[in-house]
Amino acid sequence: MKAFGPTRRPALARLALLWALFLALPATAADRSATPAAQAVIHPLLVSPLSDAANPLWNRLQVQARRLAAPAPAARSPLDALAASVVARMAQDPEAAARLLLKDPDRTRAARLEGLLAELSKSPDGGPKSALQELARSSPAHRYIFDGNPAEASLELDGIAAGFEGLSLAKRPLETLGRGEFGAVYQHPGVPGAVIKEVNHCLEVLLRTDVTPAETADEEEATSRALARARAGPRYLGRAKIGARPVSVRERIFGETLQSLILDHRFGSQEHRMILGLLRRMAKAGLRTDDMRPPNIMIGTTRLNPKPHAYLVDGGKLLEPEPGLSPRERFRSLLNQDIKIRARWDPFVGAIVTYKPMRRILEDGLGQRTDKTRWEWFKRVLRELVENVSIPPPH
């Protein structure tokens, strides 16, 4: 028994402590690797223009004002850190607060924030506010909010060239995130959290239509801005030309398309609720587009919003809203709309297009996760064969 007496207990305790530290190393390393991403600086472009109704910064300011009044405010995301530093400066600089609140079109929201700032400014200097102000000095987005041009921040497109194979920077192709008949989407090399959408018609589009790239860019801008205002699409940050080619810069969605989720049998009830939420936001805003195909719908997060949502990233043309319908009726109409899922060209007939209702696309996506028996699988396939009737478009 003496071998395991008091002389051995400290050694065993040290061994136990070393073993616990060893087990904690992977988690600590993972936390450390996630820290830079969580505290990364937000580019000014992502928070401008501040008067944009879809800008999520306004929604965080009141939350951060309340947290600043607490003893130990915590910033859990880059946007939270930015909003907290903005509020700290507003509380200590009334002129800066007035300049920022004038940019807010929602005066009711501005009035509520003014009341919180008045309470916060009564607290003594130092403490959390001073620490957050030190953080604010290192953020170019923070400086831009108060001192930048209220129009738009730079799109950061300098040095990017357009060639036959797409966009490049210093003769290196930009990372391509997607490509379609009307253009391609690239990761923005200078703005984390943004993409560059290039309008570049393929040969088939050039042969079958006389729509110019400039007209396509106009349609995309109108649709994208309308969807962003309804919180149904990523924010449209600006438009320019690279050479003679129209390009736009938009908020990036970090996620996957509805098509990939369905094809990989990963479309579940949570994703289904997000798609229905997207349709409800569009119905509330009275929006309807002509290209809500599964590849154009994404479920994911943005640089400013870590909570997953469904977004229509490329909706095509805006359609006239159906007159006399309530938001609930517009939602049902969107849910039952026919979606083009397949198209081919027949030299004798012309375009042959296959349509399926949005409701059926979602139900079938869920069904692939819930088919338990061969009979259920057979019934679903048989239903698809009956419903997916290919018909030529009306002349």
pLDDT tens digits along 294-319: 999 999 999 998 899 999 999 889 99
The pLDDT, as a whole number, for residue 203 is 74
Q: Tell me, what's the pLDDT at 171?
A: 92
Which pLDDT tens digit goes with each residue over 207-261? Answer: 777 889 999 999 999 999 999 999 999 999 999 999 999 999 999 999 999 999 9
pLDDT at 279: 97
pLDDT in tens, 87-98: 888 887 888 888
The backbone region for 367, taken as left when phi is positive above 0, alpha when psi lies in -120 to 50, beta otherwise, is alpha
- List 284's β-bridge partners, or say none: none
In this predicted structure, the answer to whether residue 153 has a pLDDT above a threshold of 70 is yes
Amino acid at 146: F
pLDDT at 33 over 70: no
SS in 3 state form for 228-288?
A: HHCCCCCCEEEEEEECCEEEEEEECCEEEEHHHHHHCCCCCHHHHHHHHHHHHHHHHHCCC
The residue that leads in pLDDT, 104 or 33, is 104
- Rounded Cα–Cα distance for residues 371 and 117 (Å): 56
All structural domains of the chain with their residue ranges: 44-147, 172-251, 254-339+358-370
Q: What Rg value do the Cα atoms of the chain yield, rounded?
A: 26
State residue 167's pLDDT score: 96
Q: Is the pLDDT of residue 370 over 70?
A: no
Q: How far is residue 181 from each of residues 46, 145, 318, 368, measured CA to CA in Å?
A: 28, 38, 18, 29
pLDDT for residue 75 is more than 70: no
pLDDT at 30 over 50: no
Are the C-beta atoms of 338 and 319 separated by less than 8 Å? no
Alpha carbons 46 and 154: distance in angstroms, whole number: 10
CATH topology of domain 172-251: Phosphorylase Kinase; domain 1 (3.30.200)
Q: Which of 133, 249, 112, 274 is closest to 191 using CA atoms?
A: 249
Highest mean pLDDT among 298-307, 338-347, 372-381: 298-307
Mean pLDDT rounded to a whole number for the chain? 80
Question: Which of 226-240, 268-282, 370-384 is least confident?
Answer: 370-384
The residue to which tokens 């098509």 are assigned: 259
Element (H, E) at 340: strand 338-346
The Cα–Cα gap between 91 and 125 comes to: 10
Q: How far apart are CA 68 and CA 53, in angstroms?
A: 24
Assigned token pair, 382: 């048989």
Torsion of CA 38, 44, 49, 53, to 10 degrees: 0
pLDDT category of residue 4 using cuts at 50, 70 and 90: very low
Asked if the model's pLDDT at residue 7 lies above 90, the reply is no
Instruction: Answer yes or no: are the C-beta atoms of 193 and 303 closer than 8 Å.
Output: yes
Average pLDDT of 183-200?
A: 95
Q: What is the per-residue pLDDT across 320-340, written as a single tens digit (0 to 9) for each?
A: 988 899 999 999 999 999 998
Question: Which class for 225: exposed (0-12), middle (13-18), buried (19 or more C-beta within 10 A)?
Answer: middle
356 contacts 258 by C-beta, under 8 angstroms: no
Q: Quick one: pLDDT at residue 1?
A: 41
The closest of 67, 103, 42 to 304, measured between CA atoms, is 42
Please report the pLDDT score of residue 16 as a whole number: 54
Mean pLDDT comparison of 177-181, 280-284, 388-392, highest-scoring range: 280-284
Tell which phi-psi region holds residue 30, choosing left (phi > 0), alpha (psi between -120 and 50) or beta. Answer: alpha
Which pLDDT belongs to residue 100?
A: 86
Q: What per-residue confidence (pLDDT) applies to 2?
A: 41
In the chain, pLDDT over 70 holds for what percent of residues? 75
